[in-house]
Copies of this chain bind each other. A is one copy, B any other.
Amino acid sequence: MSDLESIFHPKSIAIVGASPNPARVTNRFYLYPLLQFGYEGKIYPIHLTAREIAGLKVYPSIMDVPGPVDHVSCAIRADLTPQLMRQCVAKGVKLIQIYTSGFSETGQEKGIRLENEIAEIARRGNVRVLGPNCMGIYCPGSKIAYIDYFSKEGGNVGLLSQSGGNSMEVVQIGNSRGVYFSKVVSYGNACDINEAELLEYFTHDPQTKIIIGYIEGTRDGRRFINVLREATRAKPVIMLKGGTTEAGTKTAASHTGSLAGSNVIWESFFRQLGVMQVSDLEELIDLTLLFQHFKPVRGRKLGLVGSGGGASVLITDSCEKERLLIPPFPEEIRGRLREFMPEELDPGSIVHNPLDFSTSWPRPGVVPALLETTAKYDGIDFILIYFGLGPGIEERITKVIDPIIETRRNFSKPIAMVLRYNQAPQEGKLAVDLQRSCAAGGIPVFTSFDRAARAINRFVSYYEQRQS
């Protein structure tokens, strides 16, 4: 077991800078989420003068806390942090998580010196540091979170993120699409616990089946590469690298003090190691969804089954651009499909791949029958369904979703879906509900043809490369 295991299971947490003012950052990010999640350990708000905050007894300093303190979360001024660090050492604190910024990322001598000082105190005093300039830990299993609206449900995805904001966005996107997390760590400037150690932890963590990350840079490239090599041998690793351009690299430096390094180098070593590098936060989740729902897929032949002529053209373009194959259905299969879309009921309909069921899908049983026929046909490795929401479609689509999910359950063939919707609030709500049902039924849902095609290509390529 890794050293880090203990940071996910504190028995007590002190919150330095908790405040009688509910709007304060420290309350919002550290105190309230613990209460909201029902954290079962002890919570000690630390404030110089207050006596009670949110019904909890307050202590003027961590030194005044009667029992041991495992974790400290703080958002105090940068220049006061070294003093708190010394208290942590004295108190035998295991981990201090520092939200505050104003350290090495400023690029100024003062901040760099402060950060070095913290790291030095930590090393000598045997206290681990997360940050500074980070959000901390979200571990649903231990009922720890830094935002109260994160899902209480845990999952098998481990996320390391150098950016706190991006970690929040990934969790939100993920939760809304049915991705749940084993552990999420926002680690900021990484003056002690860093990307390499976290990656090593996730590699060996039995709760984590898929490792995803947002990183801006590393201070020890050699170690990171070694750890990454091990990680990719064990689990799918999906990474978004921030600071891939010249200007982006400068921004990354001022964000987390990272030496982002040349993008060409990052790209090439990601490729060599088999890391899937993505280009935005949504794509992190796009790919995660496929690994979460499907066993290895060993072919790139798609059956496209959906609604809309123009949509059929566009999804075909998207798929072929991503080197996916859309083989014509053989006569035998077309004949079987035609049984459910007879010329007299669907005049002018054409039974092809893509199979446009625009005119036939309101008839009960047609969509599942078409899907079943496609699922049974072994010339197809993967089925991609596509719908567009719109006024008047709600009832139709709601009726057809459960049968689709059942088809997915009854056949081992992977089925994914593209669900486009146009921002009307009622559509947004329906889309989220449908996405949730589909996710629960093992069907990943994408928001666009391009995103679906790109993710499927990378998913299939992952197994192609590991086979060869």
Contacts and interface: CB of A to CB of B under 8 A. Distances in A.
Contacts of A229: none
| Residue among A77, A107, A326 with max Cβ neighbours from chain B (10 Å) | A326
Interface in A262-318: 279-282, 307-314, 316-317
A348 B133 contact: yes
| Residue among A316, A420, A448 with max Cβ neighbours from chain B (10 Å) | A316
Contact of A216 (B148, B313, B348): B313
Interface in A232-262: 242-248, 250-252, 254-256
Contacts of A255: 309-310, 312-313, 356
A312 B386 CA distance: 34
B314 A242 contact: yes
B101 A348 contact: yes
Interface stretch (A11-19, A118-126, A163-171): A163-171
A255 B310 CA distance: 7
Contacts of A100: 347-348
Interface string A433-456: 001000000000000111000000
Interface in A148-203: 148-149, 161-169, 172-173, 176-177
Contacts of A177: 423
B348 A422 contact: no
A78 interface: yes
A392 B177 CA distance: 21
Interface of A: 28, 77-78, 100-103, 105-107, 111, 133, 147-149, 161-169, 172-173, 176-177, 214, 216, 242-248, 250-252, 254-256, 279-282, 307-314, 316-317, 319-321, 325-326, 347-350, 352, 354, 356, 358, 388, 390-392, 420, 422-425, 428-429, 431-432, 435, 448-450
A309 B216 CA distance: 11
A245 B214 contact: no
Nearest to A101: B348
Nearest to A162: B310
A28 B393 CA distance: 12
A186 to B, nearest CB: 9
Contacts of A321: 244-245
A225 B75 CA distance: 63
B106 A256 contact: no
A165 B222 CA distance: 53
Contacts of A252: 313
A216 to B, nearest CB: 6
Given A163-B309, A243-B317, A314-B242, A425 B429 contact: yes
Nearest to A311: B165
Nearest to A351: B254
B312 A251 contact: yes
A165 B248 contact: no
A251 B428 contact: no
